[in-house]
Structure 1
Amino acid sequence: MSITESQGASNPGQALPHRIRDQLRFEILTGALPAGTQLKQDALAARFQASRIPVREALRQLETEGLVAYRLNRGAVVIGMDIEQICELLDIRIALEGYAVRAAVPNMGRADLDALESLLNAYDDADTGPQWAELNRRFHLALCAPANNQRLRRLIEEYGLNTHRYTHEVMSLADGKEGLKAEHARILEACRQQDGDLAARLVEAHILEKKKNLVAMHRMRQDG
């Protein structure tokens, strides 16, 4: 089931532009819509059985998230990033998420810990890189949510959206399913122990390792 279908089933009143945005975002993040893909409004309107107005609004929201840009004579296009840009965003994530987790852990209640454990358990049923990447994204957002800072959360979500589509392949090739789950399990245990500093340091190391693996993979591809 796609994100659009699952969200539409649970929230039939959700605005159509949001459902279109969520589905296109999902396809961009999982690589189904690679960098450089043109997003033609007429074709999307036909696909989603909608007018161009909700499609235009969905594309505008994706533009604010940094996933889509408008190019002269091409319209909306999926944005790609080079390795330097991705690494810069990962450095920003390290700073933002480390700060957020230090603030979040003292506020975590049983419901927060249960939600994190539920996401961790979902890895057992996931078997592809894109699925791991989506669960990883949700785990990181759930970690930061108890910081109770909506502006910070939006920034973390924005930078996460712009890096997870590049790091899901790293998760598959470099870490594997069990490696990623083990890292998250250590973070969750630090949260249970109410050790915000340890949890933050583990999160920072977790993201830094993804950056190192991404750079190494890029270097090997160039050498090959």
Structure 2
Amino acid sequence: MELKRSIKRQSVPDALAADIRQRILSGEFQDGDQIRQEQIAEEYEVSRMPVREALRRLEAEGLVAFHAHRGAIVTELSLDEIAEMYDLRELIEIETLKVAIPAMTEAHLEAAREILSNLESAYESKDVAAWGALNTQYHVALCASSGRKQSLAFIKQINSQIERYIRLQLKAEGAMDKAEDEHRQLLKLIEDKNVDATVELLRKHILDSKEGMLAEVAAHRAA
């Protein structure tokens, strides 16, 4: 019997987009896969209209692209595009964090501590999916006090586009250990208001992640 999927009815396109997004990030829908609107509508027992709207939202996030005669296709980032994403992230996130640190209140710090605690739980259980989503939340939370809405949205969007590759990278031995240790160090330096050391560590954190991800993605595609 074919699997049927249930969603919350109060916002069908939002619920569809959220669930399909997770299926892309988990690798169920892989790079280059066609997402057939008719099949999705049947799986979730909805009409094609909210499915199309959901896919358009994922298109805006860079996760799918519409092609003539093929419909919605899961996007594939080249190694050069992944590297470019990281280069942009380095520039924007570091400048945003520089502004954020002096403006941080105890409420901002407490929000970051709470997310870090959830990251610790995901780390202990080796829940890569939860860790990937929380990783984005954590980096955005560290920069939240900057007040730079466009920069924060861009940081979130970049992480959304590369999260599926982050999950692949995290499966490499020691990758989660290193990232989690650096997350703890970042928060401690921010609590101490040590801007220079925080920026130096964040730059290393991003560049090391970039190198590790490019190696993992290249190996995965060559397999």
TM-score by length of 1: 0.85
> Which residue matches 1:189?
188
Runs of 4+ deviating beyond 4 Å: 218-224
- Superposed displacement of residue 179, structure 1: 1.8
Q: What SS does the corresponding residue of 1:33 show, helix, strand or coil? A: coil
Superposition pairs of residues 191-210 of structure 1, within 5 angstroms: 191-210=190-209
- Superposed displacement of residue 97, structure 1: 0.6
* Unmatched 5+ stretches in structure 1: none
Q: Say if 2:16 and 2:51, in contact at 8 Å, map to a contact too.
A: yes
* Unmatched 5+ stretches in structure 2: 1-5
- Superposed displacement of residue 73, structure 1: 1.5
Which one of 75, 98, 101 corresponds to residue 102 of structure 1? 98
Task: Give, in whole Å, the separation in 1 of the partners of 2:25 and 2:53.
Answer: 19
Task: Give, in whole Å, the separation in 2 of the partners of 1:172 and 1:113.
Answer: 29
Task: Give, in whole Å, the separation in 1 of the partners of 2:170 and 2:56.
Answer: 30
Q: Say if 2:90 and 2:206, in contact at 8 Å, map to a contact too.
A: yes
Which one of 117, 121, 142 corresponds to residue 121 of structure 1? 117
Q: What SS does the corresponding residue of 1:173 show, helix, strand or coil? A: coil
Decide which moves more: 30-39 or 210-219.
210-219
Which one of 24, 28, 35 corresponds to residue 32 of structure 1? 28
Task: Give, in whole Å, the separation in 2 of the partners of 1:195 and 1:158.
Answer: 27
Read off the aligned partner of 1:207 and give its amino acid letter.
Answer: I
Output one character per residue of 1:159-214: Cα deviation in whole Å (capped at 9) or x when no partner: 11112211222223153433221100111011111233332332221110011112
Figure out how many residues of one structure are paired with residues of the other and give that number: 215
Task: Give, in whole Å, the separation in 1 of the partners of 2:220 and 2:166.
Answer: 15
Q: Does 1:49 align with 2:45?
A: yes
Cα-Cα RMSD = 2.3
Decide which moves more: 27-36 or 83-92.
27-36
Q: Say if 2:37 and 2:48, in contact at 8 Å, map to a contact too.
A: yes
